[in-house]
A and B are shown apart, each in its own frame.
Chain A
Amino acid sequence: MNRREVLLRYAEATVGYAGEAVVRGAGLTVESGEIVGLVGPNGAGKSTLLRAITGDSELLCGSIELAGVRLVDLTPQRRASLVGVVPQQVSVAFSFAAAEFVEMGRHPHLPRFGRPGPEDVRAVETAMDLTDTAHLADKPVDALSGGDLQRLAFAQVLATEPRILLLDEPVSHLDLNHRLQVLDLTRALAEKGLGVLAVFHDLELACRYADRIAVVASGSLHPAGPPARVVTAEMLRSVFGVRAVVGTDPVTGTLAVTPIIRDGAVARAERGRVHVVGGSGVAAPLVRRLVLKGWTVTAGALNTGDADATLAEALGLEFAAIPPFAPMDAAAAITCARLAEAADAIVVCEVPFGHGNVDNLLVSVRAGRPLVLVGEIEGRDFAGGAAASYWTEAVAGGARVVPTFDEVEAALDALVPARH
């Protein structure tokens, strides 16, 4: 099955419930051999789009085609033979044997009075082998665990031998092991030529398993594209209202999404300006906390690519960027001095100081603004005593020294009274 065929096509499709449109004018194709992921905020209509195929939501306008045939021209039975729907949750209150349960998936292929033939038996056996459920064949389904039941439901879908697979947040309630099992199996089936359309709650799983991703937001379906093109910091901000860092997972090599802060929380900022001296991710937890509390945070010189710099970029903070591993230059020092002087208070985090960054401390101490120092300088002066001497100067000048981050906020509140 190397030739790619369009198995599922939404054309100007408007879908919804009870005559009310939820998603308008959606356009999307799923080809054989690919997994297309739908992502988007809760209630945006991902499931509504998916459910329109099985008639569980309404196709109000436009068309949906399955293997080139319009949905309206398919009988429920014919449609069921083309499309397999992996259920979100399986509940059983009756004691069918597992194999009987899986065999129900053959229904669309059987004539009215027909008994299952050799072909059907083979399909059931293959489905149970693929899902690792063959050993359960004789067990009553109402005595099985949730994980077994989920795999059995998958087997039931596969027994139908569908060409298109629909998954609606298929793994959100599964443990880690079963999550990977279901998704790896889905991947393997796509490689055998099935077309898969899946709703993902988890963006990282979507990036990891989907070949293309389409975003559903505010009543419309954005064009599908490769994960790296679709899942970006800008998209996360505009669609999910979240400032996030999009990086690469060091192990899987797929996209890693780290949400940092809700956009709404940032927008309310009006507490005062704090200049934070950090580096290598030491300041990140404090910066996040201060931003949440409504402080306008600026940062000292940071090497781009380090965790503090990435966070500052994602939050849109003003800071002096210097190239990775480079020492502070004159321009960075000037920027730092300007930011420090403009601040209502300055916080120096527990970073090691060397020749490359000791100027951060210097401009902070000399800025003439209220100063909060975190921890002790002992053991982190790698600048030949310069850092220790600036530190002593600061303490002599009235800087507050707090042992950990936890006391920083109280110190800032004392130094900068809240404006009402």
Chain B
Amino acid sequence: MRDSRDSRTGPALAVLAGGLVAAVVLGVALGAVRVAPSELLGALGRALSGQQSGMIDTLVLQVRLPRVVVAALVGAALAGAGTIFQALFRNPLADPYILGISSGAGLGAVVALTLTAQATALRYGVVPLAAFVGAVLTMALVTRLASWRGRLDAASLLLAGVAVSYTLAALTSFVMVFAREQMATVVFWMMGGLSGASWPYVAMIAPMFLVGAVASLAFTRELNLMLLGDERAGHLGVDVRRFKLIALAVASLLTAAAVAVAGLIGFVGLMVPHMVRLTLGPDHRALLPASFLGGAIVLVLADLIARTVLAPVEIPVGIVTALIGGPFFLWLLVRGERS
């Protein structure tokens, strides 16, 4: 099994990469206006050769493609963050949304959105930063609350996450009261929407994602060792305290990147690592890259559903993921209770 698992990793990643390309093509091609593959290629060709172009080209290059790219990056970031949280807390139910980290990033982002209402250019820099600060502070708060009596157990972690999440949601609403004219934008953003996604959004999220992805791919072995428990990980050479700080910061960065552009999108970080683990096993050297790819695919497809299922009405993608992810979470809970 080990050899087959090792030899399965490469092909599996290749399949996922292929799947991502296919999902991106579908995401760009389908919608209120269908774009034929030939037109798609034509638009890309004209864009690369710098030719001026028509309406289809604008639709493909300025509307659909950036949106699909943002969806892919957000999905990858959330799935990656979920994988890291699940390993660090040795808890398969951990995910940025359930732990309240997304809400923390959300509050940070809403505060920044409100304060920078008049300066759009500033937003692209300040919102992600504020989201990151919100995520890190929430992370610190939740782990602190959950480890109140010494050890950090699974149940108290989830409870602390949920409680903090509610409180932060209330605070977020409170902030919104002071920014009535922004309310519609903020509410739609909070539900997890990608409708405004454009190239500046890509520019905003891509650097954060890249830093988080490269850093986390560098510590996949440590994530494996953390599954043995803090003490064993320490025996086998992990500087546990330092590593936890770094890994939590990286996971918070990935979460903040996603939340800053797409609001609160739940359950991607929970479901994707699970599905990948079922097929590739728990080794993070395969699990983490596969989760990045899987998360990207899932969110691109979820956004496609959000855009097309009630077209021309568009539903926030967060609702789509919650409708699929909520029952999935319950299934995990029930299964965990039984075993």
**B39 close to A (CB within 8 Å):** no
For A113, what are the chain B residues with a Cβ–Cβ distance below 8 Å? 218
Residue of B nearest to A98 (CB): B2
Inter-subunit contact A138/B237 (CB<8 Å): no
For B228, what are the chain A residues with a Cβ–Cβ distance below 8 Å? 92, 104
Q: How many CB-defined contacts (below 8 Å) exist between A and B?
A: 70
**A392 close to B (CB within 8 Å):** no
In the bound complex, CA of A85 to CA of B233 (Å): 11
Beta-carbon contacts of A132-143 to B below 8 Å, as 1s and 0s? 000001111000
Nearest-neighbour CB distance to chain A for B298, whole angstroms, equals: 23
Nearest-neighbour CB distance to chain A for B83, whole angstroms, equals: 13
Binding site for A on B (CB under 8 A): 1-2, 5, 90, 218, 221-222, 224-225, 227-229, 231-232, 234-239, 281-283
Inter-subunit contact A108/B237 (CB<8 Å): yes
For A77, what are the chain B residues with a Cβ–Cβ distance below 8 Å? 237, 239
Nearest-neighbour CB distance to chain B for A155, whole angstroms, equals: 13
* B-contacting residues, A74-115, CB 8 Å: 75-77, 79-81, 83-85, 87, 91-100, 104-105, 107-108, 110, 112-113
**A160 close to B (CB within 8 Å):** yes
In the bound complex, CA of A75 to CA of B229 (Å): 20
**A54 close to B (CB within 8 Å):** yes
For A80, what are the chain B residues with a Cβ–Cβ distance below 8 Å? 235-237
For A85, what are the chain B residues with a Cβ–Cβ distance below 8 Å? 235
In the bound complex, CA of A378 to CA of B221 (Å): 79
Inter-subunit contact B221/A96 (CB<8 Å): no
Q: Given the interface contacts A107-B225, A112-B218, does A56 sit within 8 Å of B234 by beta carbon?
A: yes
Binding site for B on A (CB under 8 A): 54-56, 75-77, 79-81, 83-85, 87, 91-100, 104-105, 107-108, 110, 112-113, 137-140, 156, 160
12 CB contacts below 8 A, A to B, read A75-B239, A81-B237, A93-B227, A96-B282, A96-B283, A97-B1, A98-B2, A104-B224, A104-B236, A107-B221, A110-B221, A113-B218
For A137, what are the chain B residues with a Cβ–Cβ distance below 8 Å? 2
Inter-subunit contact B236/A94 (CB<8 Å): no
Inter-subunit contact A79/B237 (CB<8 Å): yes
Inter-subunit contact A97/B239 (CB<8 Å): no
Partner of A95, one of B222, B232, B237, B281: B281
For A75, what are the chain B residues with a Cβ–Cβ distance below 8 Å? 239
Inter-subunit contact B282/A87 (CB<8 Å): no
Nearest-neighbour CB distance to chain B for A72, whole angstroms, equals: 14
Inter-subunit contact A76/B90 (CB<8 Å): no
Nearest-neighbour CB distance to chain A for B241, whole angstroms, equals: 10
In the bound complex, CA of A81 to CA of B236 (Å): 8
Inter-subunit contact A160/B281 (CB<8 Å): no
In the bound complex, CA of A54 to CA of B1 (Å): 33
For B236, what are the chain A residues with a Cβ–Cβ distance below 8 Å? 80, 104-105, 107-108, 156, 160
In the bound complex, CA of A99 to CA of B90 (Å): 21
Residue of B nearest to A85 (CB): B235
For B221, what are the chain A residues with a Cβ–Cβ distance below 8 Å? 104, 107, 110
In the bound complex, CA of A286 to CA of B169 (Å): 75
In the bound complex, CA of A76 to CA of B239 (Å): 6
Inter-subunit contact A76/B237 (CB<8 Å): yes
In the bound complex, CA of A95 to CA of B218 (Å): 22
Q: Given the interface contacts A80-B235, A93-B90, A108-B237, does A100 sit within 8 Å of B2 by beta carbon?
A: yes
For B229, what are the chain A residues with a Cβ–Cβ distance below 8 Å? 91
Nearest-neighbour CB distance to chain A for B290, whole angstroms, equals: 16
Inter-subunit contact B2/A76 (CB<8 Å): no
Residue of A nearest to B237 (CB): A80
Partner of A97, one of B5, B218, B234: B5
Partner of A107, one of B1, B2, B218, B237: B237
In the bound complex, CA of A231 to CA of B201 (Å): 74
For B238, what are the chain A residues with a Cβ–Cβ distance below 8 Å? 76, 107
Nearest-neighbour CB distance to chain B for A163, whole angstroms, equals: 14
Nearest-neighbour CB distance to chain A for B223, whole angstroms, equals: 11
For A104, what are the chain B residues with a Cβ–Cβ distance below 8 Å? 221, 224-225, 228, 236
Nearest-neighbour CB distance to chain A for B246, whole angstroms, equals: 13
In the bound complex, CA of A96 to CA of B225 (Å): 11
Inter-subunit contact A99/B282 (CB<8 Å): no
Inter-subunit contact B2/A99 (CB<8 Å): yes
Inter-subunit contact A95/B235 (CB<8 Å): no
10 closest cross-chain pairs (CB), A and B: A80-B237, A108-B237, A138-B1, A77-B237, A85-B235, A97-B2, A99-B2, A76-B239, A94-B282, A107-B236
In the bound complex, CA of A67 to CA of B286 (Å): 36
Among A54, A85, A91, A104, find the residue whose CB has the most chain B CB atoms closer than 10 A.
A104
Among A77, A99, A100, find the residue whose CB has the most chain B CB atoms closer than 10 A.
A100
In the bound complex, CA of A97 to CA of B9 (Å): 14
Inter-subunit contact B231/A100 (CB<8 Å): no
Residue of B nearest to A56 (CB): B231
Residue of B nearest to A113 (CB): B218
In the bound complex, CA of A85 to CA of B228 (Å): 13
14 additional A-B pairs beyond A55-B234, A56-B231, A96-B281, beta carbons within 8 Å, are A54-B235, A75-B239, A77-B237, A77-B239, A81-B237, A96-B227, A97-B2, A97-B281, A100-B2, A100-B5, A100-B283, A107-B225, A107-B237, A108-B236
